[in-house]
């Protein structure tokens, strides 16, 4: 069921791209394939990014609540839930967004692994409609015509490390994928000028001070900037370079998507700030003074007209 529902559709999408693009280069097919997958997942990714951005912006408020609660877990939880309700945030809402991404990711890994380890799977696992494409017919007669490189420079079926030592073209892709993951993670991290490192917090606690749990959690979260890239490096360094290329391209596209979402949100906030409002709290002070002065002038004119009318009426009474 896993192969039929997840792996085969992804596998055949990759094979169809490879068979249809000019030059039939496997590396270019992986790049286009990754771009299509990331665009297809854009609604899920966008929802996840907005949740992450809101949580990042709420960090000062969360820190204030933790200080005000003074260790009272029940009070802290109640205040946090009230804050999340006010801002319309679900702290665990991103889990439902991440699950489909992980399913697709594992399916992609399985599909790429099969092509990289056994080129004949291009023929044995492809759908009949794809198998009938002209280039697939060519491969069925001579599988050695399968171009398993990235533009002729990197053999994507080889790993960065193996029996022959380090394969540097693949190692460059592995290192690039780890760097892309680092900046992708860092981009969503809240920036705090007075943030303490975990070592400094533990040192203060060892000297008799009290460790703030919020600072510990924030420090552990910041450490994931380095944890995820290291994990990706260790996982992909022994796998075919095709998988590292997918990680690299996916990381670069994700970084761009995150930048677009964050920039759009900032522009929307600036537009709201620049939009004139008639709410008294948002009207500039100079405008309020100006309007007050105008009202005062109109009242003075009304009083002048009233007094002149009364004087005229008095004169008429005297004449009579």
Q: How many residues are recorded in the chain?
A: 320
What is the per-residue pLDDT for 18? 94
Distance (Å) of CA 125 to CA 67, 134, 140, 210: 59, 17, 13, 60
Q: pLDDT for 136-162, tens place per residue?
A: 999 999 999 999 999 999 999 889 998
Cα–Cα distance measured from residue 240 to residue 145, given in angstroms and rounded to the nearest whole number: 19
**Which are the contacts of 171, defined by CB distance < 8 A and separation ≥ 6?**
160, 161, 237
Bigger pLDDT: 312 or 53?
Answer: 53
Residue keyed to tokens 């997918």: 246
Structure tokens at 124: 């044995």
Residue keyed to tokens 């380890």: 117
Task: Please tell me the pTM assigned to this model.
Answer: 0.70
Q: How far is CA 119 from the centre of its chain?
A: 34
Q: Is the pLDDT of residue 195 over 70?
A: no
∠ at Cα 44 (42, 49), nearest 5°? 90
What average pLDDT does the segment 268-287 reach? 49
Cα–Cα distance measured from residue 43 to residue 150, given in angstroms and rounded to the nearest whole number: 30
Question: Domain map of the chain by residue range?
Answer: 2-274
Q: pLDDT over 70 for what percent of the chain?
A: 68
């Amino acid at each position: 069921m896993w192969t039929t529902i997840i792996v085969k559709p992804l596998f055949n999408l990759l094979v169809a791209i490879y068979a249809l693009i000019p030059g039939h280069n496997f590396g270019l097919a992986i790049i286009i394939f990754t771009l299509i997958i990331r665009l297809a997942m854009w609604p899920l990714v966008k929802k996840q990014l907005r949740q992450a951005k809101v949580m990042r912006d709420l960090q000062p408020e969360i820190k204030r609540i933790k200080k005000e609660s003074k260790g009272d877990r029940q009070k802290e939880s109640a205040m946090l839930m009230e804050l999340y309700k006010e801002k319309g945030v679900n702290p665990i809402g991103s889990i439902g967004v991440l699950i489909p991404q992980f399913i697709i990711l594992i399916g992609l890994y399985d599909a790429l692994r099969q092509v990289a380890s056994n080129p004949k799977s291009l023929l044995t696992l492809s759908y009949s409609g794809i198998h009938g494409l002209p280039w697939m017919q060519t491969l069925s007669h001579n599988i050695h015509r399968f171009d398993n490189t990235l533009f002729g420079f990197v053999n994507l079926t080889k790993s960065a490390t193996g029996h022959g030592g380090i394969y540097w073209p693949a190692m460059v892709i592995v290192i690039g994928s780890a760097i892309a993951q680092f900046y992708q993670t860092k981009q969503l991290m809240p920036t705090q000028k007075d943030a303490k490192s975990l070592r400094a917090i533990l040192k203060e606690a060892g000297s008799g001070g009290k460790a703030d749990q919020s600072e510990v959690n924030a420090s552990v979260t910041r450490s994931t900037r380095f944890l995820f890239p290291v994990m990706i490096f260790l996982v992909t360094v022994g796998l075919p370079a095709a998988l590292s290329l997918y990680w690299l391209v996916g990381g670069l596209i994700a970084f761009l998507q995150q930048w677009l979402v964050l920039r759009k949100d900032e522009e929307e906030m600036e537009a709201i700030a620049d939009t004139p409002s008639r709410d008294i709290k948002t009207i500039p002070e100079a405008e309020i003074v100006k309007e007050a002065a105008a009202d005062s002038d109109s009242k003075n004119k009304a009083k002048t007209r009233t007094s002149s009318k009364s004087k005229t009426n008095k004169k008429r009474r005297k004449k009579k």
